[in-house]
Amino acid sequence: MEMAVSMHSSVPLQRAVEIYDEADIVVVGGGPAGTAAAISGARCGKKVVLLEHSGQLGGMGTLGNVSVFMGVGNVTGIYREMVSEVLPDYLPQSHEGSIWPQYSPFELRHYLNTKLEREGVKVYYHTSFVAAAMEGDSVTGVIANTRQGLKAFLGRTVLDCTGDARVAQDAGVPIRTGRSEDGLTQPMTLMFMMQNTGKPVKPYLPEDCYYYETVDELPPRPPFVLGAQRQWNAPR
């Protein structure tokens, strides 16, 4: 006998969850925002734990294979420190200088893992946010799914660095996403690498490819930005 299940069905869940760790600051999400927040908290003398759902830090910068930090003209704080340690050749002379540093996701992952360990941040990998732990209107921690089941991580301060406001949404905090008129966000970009496909491919340059005779002719913007601009301006 088949059982029909409504898309709007729900199952009540209420259970006691073991407190696995407590800290001054619980950071949820180990992307660029989460790692920087964790480092800042640790340098203020606070006990910090960071919960990351995957097996590596860096967010889309490593997991998504993006391999470039989009251009900013205010290279300060932890971001400047990171660039100076990983990509010193990209470091601008002034804080206002704009950079587009390209890097290896594998090197960045190793760097972040090592740096947070040096800073004294306890990182829990493969630990996914499930629910906010609440006392009245206050968030006192989070419930997370670990390899040992559901566990509670309590903190005096909880920082939502999930990228999609998971903690805030569960705690009932009003959020806004996308553009104001319809909530739409930027479409996803597919990043991938290929090698040793078994089929030789002769390298070539498209007829409309930018061509430069000397290094001095190179534009200040990265080639992929120019390529994207060319495609954007191409007739439809």
pLDDT in tens, 160-205: 999 999 999 999 999 988 888 998 988 887 777 778 888 888 888 7
Nearest-angstrom CA–CA distance, 125 and 50: 8
Residue 114 lies in a domain: yes
H/E run at residue 81: helix 77-86
* pTM, entire model: 0.79
Nearest-angstrom CA–CA distance, 104 and 88: 14
User: Three-state SS for 25?
Assistant: strand
Nearest-angstrom CA–CA distance, 204 and 192: 20
Alpha helices in 30-76 (DSSP H): 32-43
Residue 4 lies in a domain: no
Taking only the tens place, the pLDDT of each residue in 101-149 is 888 899 999 999 999 999 999 999 999 999 999 999 999 999 999 999 9
Taking only the tens place, the pLDDT of each residue in 32-75 is 999 999 999 999 999 999 999 999 999 988 998 888 887 777 78
Residue 141 lies in a domain: yes
Residue 3 lies in a domain: no
Residue 96 lies in a domain: no
Residue 200 lies in a domain: no
Containing structural domain, residue 125? 19-67+104-170
The total number of structural domains that make up the chain: 1
Tell me, what DSSP letter sits at residue 39? H
